[in-house]
Amino acid sequence: MKFETRAIRIGEEPDMENGSGDVVIPIHLSTTFARRSIERLPKGYEYSRTGNPTRHALERKLASLEDAKFGLAFSSGMAAETTILLALLKKGEHVIAFDDLYGGTKRLFRTFGKRFGIEFEYVDARYAENVRSAIRENTKLIWLETPTNPLMKMCDIGEISEMAHENGIIVAVDNTFATPYFQRPLGLGADIVVHSTTKYINGHSDSVGGAIMLSDEEIYEELKFHQNSSGAILSPFDSYMTLRGIKTLALRMREHERNAMRIAGFLESHPKVNRVYYPGLDSHPQHGLAKKQMHGFGGMISFEINGTVEDAVRFTESLQLFSLAESLGGVESLIEIPALMTHSSVPEEERERIGISDTLIRMSVGIENVEDLIEDIEGGLKRL
């Protein structure tokens, strides 16, 4: 079954024997489920924190999208990340992470490390040898984003996973930017895939959620235990909203990419833009790797304007079709300044070391008419 078909059909097969033949999975709002006897649970459900039919349908669909055996749906992407840390790490262990990560992830790592005595070490994972050099006897986890947020750096998932497994280390990949439509880390060797489903998976900026997909049953059981214990679950209504959004994922991602390619090319040729970060451009230093491990390049672009931070603020505030807002991956176009918004919690010296300048702008390209979007950007650049 091809991706587009799975995105629509898996988890929502009409129940013609015991149900009413719903083509769309119902929203099961019940918090608890009655049983005829102590031993027999109706269809395996007892309490909605532990398991819910609507959430279960979503988790089946999520697993299918990433070619995984198991899926877990969480109340947010950060809840998913926190569950991984709680389930898999203990005091004295060591984690290697890409140096360019979402600011909220870094904030979580700092807090978690200080409180629980776990060391997080950041390396430039564009070069796999940097990861290899950082491995210690107590290294338990390697955490990757590719492409990264916000600098669109790439790392070789296959090469890093191979060296990790040689040393008994788990590899987790945040696949939010690429989505399973354009990249499937498990097939490249990773152990765990993480998503903020708030973004492209849902795609309509109306539901906050997170997901973990994996095929290792032992790790899955550990994660599910901690999810249930902490209550970090996605609600039935948000599960339904995410199920609905997924059905158009393939269509949306094709449009996001098509618009992003046009806009990236326009920005690269504009005299008021110093540099464009987009893996679909030949000028991207890892364009070859992007073509090797991705099936497309996504809808996220970052670029540096030729000016000051005040110019960057004036530009973003002047646009009409790009909403000045955090988040990404919705059908509408969004724009933000990482140093002042999504990555403001990252210390300034760390941002400078990684390459996040004050004039870096991150753009989530929507699926509006691309000519309208380019006209809006052009107008904003003319005002500088």
Of 18-27, 174-183, 361-370, which gets the smallest average pLDDT? 18-27
Q: At 153, is the pLDDT very low, low, confident or very high (cuts 50, 70, 90)?
A: very high
Task: Answer yes or no: is pLDDT of 306 > 90.
Answer: yes
Tokens representing 106?
A: 């870094």
Nearest to 56 by CA among 319, 240, 201: 240
Q: At 73, which amino acid appears? A: A
Task: Answer yes or no: is pLDDT of 147 > 90.
Answer: yes
Pick the catalytic residue: 61, 99, 102, 126?
A: 102
Mean pLDDT of 344-355: 92
* 126 classed as catalytic: no
Instruction: Report the alpha-carbon distance of residue 66 to residue 191 in Å, rounded.
Output: 11
**Under a CB-based contact definition with an 8 Å cutoff, are residues 79 and 105 in contact?**
no
Q: At 44, is the pLDDT very low, low, confident or very high (cuts 50, 70, 90)?
A: confident
Mean pLDDT of 294-302: 98
Q: At 325, is the pLDDT very low, low, confident or very high (cuts 50, 70, 90)?
A: very high
Which pLDDT score, from 0 to 100, does residue 117 have? 97
What are the DSSP calls for 199-263, one per residue? TTTT-SS----EEEEE--HHHHHHHHHHHHHHT-BPPHHHHHHHHHHHTTHHHHHHHHHHHHHHH
Contacts of 124 (CB under 8 A, 6+ apart): 98, 99, 130, 153
pLDDT digits (tens, 9 = 90+) for 83-119: 999 999 999 999 999 999 999 999 999 999 999 999 9
The pTM assigned to this predicted structure is 0.96
* 49 classed as catalytic: yes
pLDDT digits (tens, 9 = 90+) for 192-249: 999 999 999 999 999 999 999 999 999 999 999 999 999 999 999 999 999 999 999 9
Please give the mean pLDDT across all residues of the chain.
96
Task: Answer yes or no: is pLDDT of 49 > 90.
Answer: yes
Task: Answer yes or no: is pLDDT of 307 > 90.
Answer: yes
Residue 316 backbone phi and psi in degrees, to 5 = -65, -35
| 3 state SS of 372 | helix
Pick the catalytic residue: 99, 100, 156, 174?
A: 174
Mean pLDDT of 128-153: 98
Pick the catalytic residue: 126, 153, 184, 199?
A: 199
Instruction: Report the alpha-carbon distance of residue 353 to residue 206 in Å, rounded.
Output: 35
pLDDT digits (tens, 9 = 90+) for 248-282: 999 999 999 999 999 999 999 999 999 999 999 99
| Cis bond before residue 150 (omega within 30° of 0) | yes
* 174 classed as catalytic: yes
| 3 state SS of 76 | coil
Domains and CATH numbers, the chain: 3-246 (3.40.640.10), 249-382 (3.90.1150.10)
Mean pLDDT of 162-191: 98
Which pLDDT score, from 0 to 100, does residue 37 have? 85
- Interhelix angle 103-116/77-88, rounded to 10 degrees, is 30
H/E element holding 171?
strand 170-174
